[in-house]
Amino acid sequence: MVDLVSQYQKMEAEINEAVINVIKSSAYINGPEVKSFQKELENYLDVKHVIPCANGTDALQMAMMALGLKPGDEVITATFTFVATAEVIALLGLVPVLVDVDPDTFMLNPEQVANAITPKTKAIVPVHLFGQCADMEAILEIATKNNLFVIEDTAQAIGADYTFSNGQSAKAGTIGDIGTTSFFPSKNLGCFGDGGAIFTNNDELGDKLRVIANHGMKVRYYHDEIGVNSRLDSIQAAVLRKKLPQLDSYNAARNKAAAFYDEAFKGHSKITTPKRADQSSHVFHQYTLKVTGVDRDALIQHLQDNEIPAMIYYPVPLHMQKAYTDERYNVGDFPIAESLITQVISLPMHTELTENQLQFITRSFLTFVNQ
Ligand SMILES: *Cc1c(COP(=O)(O)O)cnc(C)c1O
């Protein structure tokens, strides 16, 4: 699904040097590399505060802690997504309120969000799934009207641009109150281990997030609130500093691969290529198709027989996960998500796909679908 080795080889000397320099400096934690990466990411995103942290799940958790959400408060998110969002909501004693998604963009449906609001609702967490932004304008409007916080889960969409109807644009993750991301190796901006970050334009939240990430302390050994220990280490920051200047070209390479797939599958009666959301660019963390009238398991087997990986993101929506079973929800409650899980299939998507590989993948795929 990804080819991290080829990507690394292109920058091997540069990255090795940066990593060795951190090792020689012995500034392994909170060293100058972390500070520099923070500043460089702030510049790239055009956001006031970046708070580097240990991973994207911690980033979500700290975002909810910083907003002062209390046990029993309701947080609205999509049922069709990676588990991290609902996980931290549940861990903090908050109540995940799930809503269905748009069948074409796979993203949080604003109308459903509006319908799910109760007096206990405190926040909305749109997940910018697969690489493009949710309908932020509609979500912000609902949030403003109902006095709710918005946390953008940008783990899959770093670098995507969102354009408002007035023509203004902003980077994914800098639109709501807080944005979160992950630098897990296979993400669009990946390090060589775990990493994450939180973004905000709000000075007060920025201060609070820095304190929470550091055991709730501003002055060493004086703890003003309960925090966590969540740090990006200096080696990861050094790697990310080398890769951040490449992010736009990485995302362009992903778009090129996506355009090849689009063209190969165009107009096919059994294949729906991914829809581009109106207001967002797409950075193709995943290239996710829908297939109908095809034995999907046999298709995946056929691809595997040809050494082509393919994945189902995601096979089970949150309301049907064992750990998140809830008397409020039943099978059948979210028909779009429940139909998507039977149709979606994600193809290899990364920065190093060659035309030969893309040709081989699309031909194998079509051979099976057309048989
Ligand atoms: C990867 C991912 C996360 C979690 O990131 P980690 O760094 O693995 O903790 C959260 N949300 C989404 C949508 C993701 O894809």
Tens digit of pLDDT per residue, the chain (371 long)? 899 999 999 999 999 999 999 999 999 999 999 999 999 999 999 999 999 999 999 999 999 999 999 999 999 999 999 999 999 999 999 999 999 999 999 999 999 999 999 999 999 999 999 999 999 999 999 999 999 999 999 999 999 999 999 999 999 999 999 999 999 999 999 999 999 999 999 999 999 999 999 999 999 999 999 999 999 999 999 999 999 999 999 999 999 999 999 999 999 999 999 999 999 999 999 999 999 999 999 999 999 999 999 999 999 999 999 999 999 999 999 999 999 999 999 999 999 999 999 999 999 999 999 99
Which domain does 208 fall in, by range? Answer: 4-99+106-244
Q: How far apart are CA 89 and CA 192, in angstroms?
A: 27
Ligand 1 centroid from CA 166, angstroms: 31
**Token code pair at residue 209:** 């997030």
> Where in 74-113 does DSSP place strands (E)?
74-78, 95-99
Q: How far apart are CA 261 and CA 258, in angstroms?
A: 5
Beta-strand relationship, 178-182 and 169-171: unpaired
Is the same domain home to 142 and 155?
A: yes
Ligand 1 lined by 198 (C-beta under 6 Å) = no
Please report the atom of ligand 1 found closest to the CA of residue 156. Answer: 15
Of the candidates 30, 22, 120, 113, the one whose C-alpha atom is nearest the C-alpha of residue 76 is 113
Q: What is the pLDDT of residue 251?
A: 98
Backbone dihedral region for residue 307 (phi beyond 0: left; psi -120 to 50: alpha; all else: beta): left
Q: In what order do the strands lie in the sheet with 344-347?
A: 271-272, 287-291, 344-347
Ligand 1 lined by 286 (C-beta under 6 Å) = no
Ligand 1 centroid from CA 66, angstroms: 19
Does the pTM surpass 0.75? The reply is yes
Q: What is the pLDDT of residue 295?
A: 97
Ligand 1 lined by 84 (C-beta under 6 Å) = yes
Helices 247-265 + 355-369 axis angle, to 10: 30
Is the same domain home to 79 and 154?
A: yes
Q: What is the pLDDT of residue 353?
A: 97
Is the same domain home to 149 and 195?
A: yes
Asked if 224 and 218 count as a contact pair (C-beta separation under 8 A), the reply is yes
Is the same domain home to 281 and 352?
A: yes
Is the same domain home to 306 and 205?
A: no
* Pocket-testing residue among 132, 153, 180, 228, ligand 1, by greatest number of atoms within 8 A of Cβ: 153
Is the same domain home to 113 and 239?
A: yes
Ligand 1 centroid from CA 319, angstroms: 18
Is the same domain home to 239 and 301?
A: no
Domain's final residue, options 187, 218, 244: 244
Is the same domain home to 174 and 265?
A: no
**CATH number, position 207:** 3.40.640.10
Q: How far apart are CA 13 and CA 5, in angstroms?
A: 13
Q: How far apart are CA 152 and CA 51, in angstroms?
A: 15
* Number of structural domains the chain divides into: 2
Please report the atom of ligand 1 found closest to the CA of residue 58. Answer: 9
Q: What is the pLDDT of residue 184?
A: 98
> Where in the chain does DSSP place strands (E)?
49-53, 74-78, 95-99, 121-125, 149-153, 161-163, 169-171, 178-182, 196-200, 217-219, 222-223, 271-272, 287-291, 344-347
Residue 95, SS3 per DSSP:
strand
Is the same domain home to 81 and 200?
A: yes
Of the candidates 283, 249, 257, the one whose C-alpha atom is nearest the C-alpha of residue 129 is 283
